[in-house]
Amino acid sequence: MKPIPRTGFIALTHALAIAVGWAAYQASGFQGPGFSTTEPPAARTKSTDRTSKDTKTTDRTPKDTKAVEEILAPILAFLENRREVYDQRTDDTIRQTSQNILDRIASIDIPADFAKELEAVEAGPDEGKFVEMAALVFHWMNHDSKAFFDWLRADPKKRGVGLGVSLLFSLEPEIYRRSGVEGVLAQLVHAEGCKHQLSGDLGRSLAKSGDIAGILKARQLLIPDAHASNPEDWRRLVINIGQNWPADKTTALIRLAVEMDEPMLLTTHRRNIEGHGGYIAGLLADESLPEDFRKKISENPMARNSIIGDSSLPLDMRLANGGDLARIISGDVGRLLSEDRDWAFAFRNGQATAEKIMTVVSAGTPELARSQPDDLRNFVFRELSEENPAAAMVLLKDMPDDKRSEFALLVSRTHFDNVEPSKFLELLEQIPSDTPEQWDDRLDAWNLRGYKNNERLQEGYVEWVRALPPGLDREMALYSLARAVNAKNPGLAEDLRSQVSDPELKKRIASHR
């Protein structure tokens, strides 16, 4: 199911979010300081296990959960109904200025002093204020657009970002309907600070109405000669035309883009739709398009990124367009691990094995599985090792012992940011600690984690290190933490160093002083 469109709906979802939050707060039974209840709040246990990358969760009693679910049910049902309504709408409708604004434009008396009248309305009661101001702004822009934008810029905090842009967004469709592209561009000349909004609105109107003559006119006005007097305004316009052009009229857009020698009209078209890379690849393969035009498309960074990120395309094509293997694997496997199911969550909670997840990934990326099986396996291991290090080690079972330890140590250094320290330690426990050639790598991992975990967890990490069982990892944890805190808390650093007994670490402590 497609996502619910933002336009006209975002205020509703924000309001509902606030309502849900308040309802859940009420249902939790929580009372702030200075209040009491007839019975104590349900016990809650903090957990550092992550439901995503680093999300702290709170256990609720069944009573709490039921209360929140009961509150959410009708709201989610309403949202789902709204989703169905919006799914039935087409995105090819032409936006129009609201009828109440149009009625007021027709009936309002034109003032002698627009600024004075606008400021009086702005200072007055809220009821009907926006409609009244919109009508005044419409006539003022028609009368003297430069004076209006000068007034708007005079107090940007009050007008330029909020009210001014909202008014322009509401009025642009009517300006375009009455005066065409020339009318909107006449405003654009003076609209410093609002150009992005105006050009975006104009681009959408031109696209949705299929106004090819208007697009050609806009180019003539914005780029009247080879020196391109307004290239940035034109570029913004092109992007919005391409993004909003109806998908069922792509052929007409292609003809227009070729006629104007403007490949960006096509590279931005359908950009947010799945399969955009395949669409670009189709353009590049279309020999009916001029070769030099296709070359410009192939050199466009946006087009190349779309091809690189489209897992349905051949791997050699994606690599040829500038994709590196690590980025392609990361994108493809990252989607597989989260699209249909949160496999990391399932693995962390024992609902799926590493072998099962590897099978899913291989089936979903057959070309990578055939040509780059080791790289694919290594990426999956990196992702799963942060969730359950011991259970993830099975993925490395076919590697030689020394290579397996070497790779696991590498992952311990490159990953495990914002992961609980116990998971990091669990990975190190899968690596023999009596291998001299890997001793330095192990210490490097502790030095990196010691600094980052202390910065993130502070006193909690200090206590965790102190409580570690005897062994090389505790020695390295003490040593690395002492280095991390030395500048700000030399007393604590000295105390931590005094607990180190490993001869090599004691030598390093002595030599660093």
Yes or no: say if 24 and 68 are a contact pair by the CB < 8 Å rule. Answer: yes
The pair of structure tokens assigned to 461 is 């990490």
Look at residue 513 in the predicted model and tell me its pLDDT: 53
What are the tens digits of pLDDT across the range 434-448?
Answer: 888 899 999 999 999
**Cβ neighbours of residue 3 under 8 Å, at least 6 residues apart?**
none
Q: If you count them, how many residues does the chain have?
A: 513
Q: Is the pLDDT of residue 425 over 80?
A: yes
Look at residue 294 in the predicted model and tell me its pLDDT: 94
Q: Rounded to a whole number, what is the distance in angstroms from the first to the last CA of the chain? A: 63
Yes or no: say if 143 and 114 are a contact pair by the CB < 8 Å rule. Answer: yes
Distance CA 426, CA 411 (A): 13
pTM of the predicted structure, to 2 decimals: 0.64
Kind plus residue range of the DSSP H or E element containing 37: none
Instruction: Strands of 33-171 (E only): list them.
Output: 46-47, 57-58
Look at residue 165 in the predicted model and tell me its pLDDT: 66
For residue 57, what are the β-bridge partners? 47
Look at residue 114 in the predicted model and tell me its pLDDT: 92
**Cβ neighbours of residue 1 under 8 Å, at least 6 residues apart?**
83, 87
Q: Is the pLDDT of residue 119 over 90?
A: no
Q: What confidence tier does 89 reach under pLDDT thresholds 50, 70, 90?
A: very low
Kind plus residue range of the DSSP H or E element containing 49: none
Distance CA 24, CA 500 (A): 49
Q: What confidence tier does 399 reach under pLDDT thresholds 50, 70, 90?
A: very high
For the chain, give the percent of residues with pLDDT over 70: 77
CB atoms within 10 A of CB 134: 23
Residue 268 region, left (φ>0) first, then alpha (ψ -120 to 50), else beta?
alpha
Overall average pLDDT of the 341-370 stretch: 94
Phi, psi at 189, each rounded to 5°: -60, -35
What are the tens digits of pLDDT across the range 199-249?
Answer: 778 888 899 888 999 999 888 888 765 544 567 778 888 999 999 998 888
For residue 46, what are the β-bridge partners? 58
> Average pLDDT, whole number, for the chain?
79
Look at residue 117 in the predicted model and tell me its pLDDT: 92
Q: Is the pLDDT of residue 470 over 50?
A: yes
Yes or no: say if 135 and 102 are a contact pair by the CB < 8 Å rule. Answer: no
Yes or no: say if 142 and 108 are a contact pair by the CB < 8 Å rule. Answer: no
Distance CA 428, CA 191 (A): 60
